Structure 1
Amino acid sequence: MKMEMLLALMNIMITLFFIVPIEKSSMAAGKKKTKAVTLKMAQQCQEMLLDNKWRLDLSFRGITTVPKEVLMLYGRDEVNLSRNLIKKLPDFCETMENINVLDLHSNKLEQLPATIYHLKNLQALNLCNNCLKGVPKELGLLNNLQTLHLGMNQLKVLPGSIGDLTELRYIGLSDNQFTRKPHCLSRLKKLERVNLDRNPILTED
């Protein structure tokens, strides 16, 4: 009987010896690793659109930073960096002036660099679902901007310079902390739609 118990105990120890390391390695392998953006990756993520423009799609990559060298080389017309873990953007360079569409929704952005004004040809900017508590006044220098998505952030006010976006047709401000419609929007003559849904707008007496 003692021999049987000893053999059973030895079998348990042998099983634990081999199984536990395997489980640990499996758990480690299951963890998502942050991927660094490389030039090769960026090249593979390019696609030509129907209008002969180029789009760089780096969405769903788990990236936390954006090497500006990559955007300088491959960010030609449209850049999609949505659904990542980006907290901060690099200072924009004048070499990125050709970008028409910049999609940064569903990241962890806490602020925008003032140098965003370099994106002179930007027509659509998506900043939905981030952690923005404010936007720089330099955003008002994007004279060609037609669509601006700022929903699902923590905004309470907009800089008055937003009223200088003379080509703006749509601005999304839903799911923020606005208590009234920003006054600067009244200066936008081409504005067709404002989305202020799910804000704590105060009713006027």
Structure 2
Amino acid sequence: MPKGKGPQGKRITLKVAKNAVRVLFNGRRRLELSKMGIAVFPKCLLELADVEEIDLSRNMLRKIPNIIEKFQNLMWLDLHSNQIDELPAEIGTLQNLTYLNLCNNKLTTKGLPEELTHLKNLRTLNLGLNCLETIPTTLGALRELIELGLFDNSLTIIPKSVKKLPKLERLNVKRNPLPEFAKEDEPIDTVKRIESLYLVEKKDLCNSCLQMCQGERDELHKLEDITPGPSDKPSFPSLTTPNSTAMDNQEEWRMKDENLENIPGHSTDDVS
């Protein structure tokens, strides 16, 4: 690799991109290019600038070019788990955008352009797992915002203009160095997953996501230890043995059944 140059990543051709377009149940067209090893935003995507949704998550993108302004039909943009450290001012031209996921990148406060507040129709914004030390007060201009993820950053304060957004229902500020008095006023840990549930293998998760999942699992186990519940061992009073613990040697079971059938008045079909 030449000195001073970053990873080139996988080259995406127009043919590959066209084959990656999916039509959703709601009629929208989604360009799915997740986990493709892309390091540079493919210019060939301009030929598909009329799509409504783009998934470029889990790649190696460092920059989003200003040509993003060409995607004026875009309503849904997923860029999570890349290496993006700043957004172009042109992202503010995407007036139809309602969903923007920037989780698990390298965004700093300086990397958030003021034009981000021009996204007047934005309802979901995920900025979790970045390098944010402050949140611009101007985000209070996003009056349609319902969900805001700010978890796993370096925030010490949440602007009142953001906390008092009129339609904000879910605000996640977990694992930020917020003062205790501020935490009491925050609706912490209220972000709920409303998207589809996906199962992934551990090897497909980045270190940060894996640690987060393991941490949440540990917290759940702590709650299970504290909360009394019924016995882990199920009771099957009307059965000789539960099906889940039946003997592996089926031949032995059949021999027992045959012996029971030879006993007068006994039938192996009886359960009670």
Answering whether residue 66 of structure 2 is matched by residue 91 of structure 1, we say yes
Answer yes or no: is 1:101 the counterpart of 2:76.
yes
**2:85–2:105: 8 Å Cα contact kept in structure 1?**
yes
Report the CA distance between 1:184 and its aligned residue: 2.4
The partner residue of 1:148 within 119, 122, 125 is: 125
* CA RMSD, 1 decimal: 1.8
* Deviation of 1:93 (Å): 4.7
1:72-99 alpha-carbon deviations (Å, 9 max, x no partner):
5255111000000000011045431110
TM-score normalised by L of structure 2: 0.61
> Of residues 180, 184, 188 in structure 1, which corresponds to 2:165?
188
Amino acid of the residue matched to residue 40 of structure 1? K
- Residues 72 and 199 (structure 1), Cα distance of their counterparts in 2 relative to 1, 3 Å cut: farther
> How far does residue 61 in structure 1 lie from its aligned partner after superposition?
0.5
Q: What amino acid maps onto 1:55 in structure 2?
A: R
- Higher RCO (C-alpha under 8 Å, 6+ residues apart): 1
Q: Which amino acid aligns with 1:98?
A: N
Partner secondary structure for residue 131 of structure 1: coil
Which structure is larger by alpha-carbon Rg, 1 or 2? 2
User: What secondary structure does 1:47 align onto?
Assistant: strand
The unaligned stretches of length 5 or more in structure 2 are: 1-6, 183-272
Identical positions, percent: 44
Alignment partner, residue 145 of structure 2: 168
Q: Which residue of 2 aligns with 1:130?
A: 105
Deviation at 1:116, TM superposition (A): 0.6
> What's the CA shift string for 1:145-201, capped at 9, x where partnerless?
000000000101122221011110010000000112222213410111110001111
2:42 aligns with 67
Deviation for aligned residue 1:67: 2.5
C-alpha distance in structure 2 between counterparts of 1:144 and 1:133, whole Å: 23
1:39 matched residue in structure 2 = 14
| CA–CA distance in structure 1, aligned partners of residues 99 and 146 of structure 2 | 10
Aligned residue for 1:17? Answer: none
- Paired amino acid for 1:37: I
Corresponding residue of 2:56: 81
Counterpart-to-counterpart distance in 1, 2:164 and 2:47: 34
**Offset, 1:136:** 1.2
Gaps of 5+ in 1: 1-31
Return the alpha-carbon distance in structure 1 between the equivalents of residues 33 and 163 of structure 2. Answer: 36
Once residues 67 and 116 of structure 2 are traced to their aligned partners in structure 1, the CA distance between those partners, rounded to angstroms, is 13
CA contact (8 A) 1:164 1:187 kept: no
Aligned to 2:90: 115
Shift in alpha-carbon separation, 1:42–1:74, aligned structure 2, 3 A: farther
| Structure 2 counterpart SS, 1:204 | helix
Distance 1:60 1:52, change over 3 A: same
For the pair 1:179 / 2:153, whether they are aligned, the reply is no
Decide whether the 8 Å contact of 2:24 with 2:30 is kept in 1.
Answer: yes
